[in-house]
Amino acid sequence: MKKLVIIPTYNEKENIEKIISSVFALDQEFHILVVDDSSPDKTADIVKELQKIHPHTLHLSIRHIKDGLGKAYIHGFKWALQNNYDYIFEMDADFSHNPNDLPKLFEACLNADMAVGSRYSKGVNVVNWPMGRVLLSYFASKYVRFILGLSIHDTTAGFVCFSRKVLDEIGLDNVKLKGYGFQIEMKFRTFKKGFKIVEVPIIFTNRELGESKMNGGIIHEAVFGVLNLKWKSIINKL
* Phi, psi (rounded to 5 degrees) for 152: -75, 155
Which H or E run includes 31? Answer: strand 31-36
Segments making up each domain of the chain, as ranges: 3-234
The per-residue pLDDT string of the chain (238 residues; one tens digit each, 9 = 90 and over) reads 999 999 999 999 999 999 999 999 999 999 999 999 999 999 999 999 999 999 999 999 999 988 889 999 999 999 999 999 999 999 999 999 999 999 999 999 999 999 999 999 887 878 877 888 778 888 888 889 999 999 999 998 999 999 999 999 999 999 999 877 899 999 999 999 999 999 999 999 986 665 555 544 556 676 788 888 888 888 877 7
* Per-residue model confidence (pLDDT) at position 212: 54
Please check whether residue 75 is in contact with residue 63, taking contact to mean a CB–CB distance below 8 angstroms.
Answer: yes
What is the per-residue burial (b if ≥16 Cβ within 10 Å, else e) of 6-34?
bbbbbbbbbbbeebbeebbeeeeebbbbb
Pick among 3.90.550.10, 3.20.20.70, 3.40.50.1820, 3.30.1300.10: CATH of 3-234: 3.90.550.10
* Per-residue model confidence (pLDDT) at position 207: 65
Q: What is the pTM of this model?
A: 0.92
Long-range contacts of residues 125-128, Cβ cutoff 8 Å, at least 24 apart: 125/201, 125/202, 125/203, 125/204, 126/203, 126/204, 126/205, 126/206, 127/203, 127/204, 127/205, 127/206, 128/205, 128/206, 128/208
* Per-residue model confidence (pLDDT) at position 135: 82
Residue 23 CA to residue 16 CA, distance in Å, equals 11
Number of Cβ within 10 Å of residue 136's Cβ equals 15
* Per-residue model confidence (pLDDT) at position 92: 96
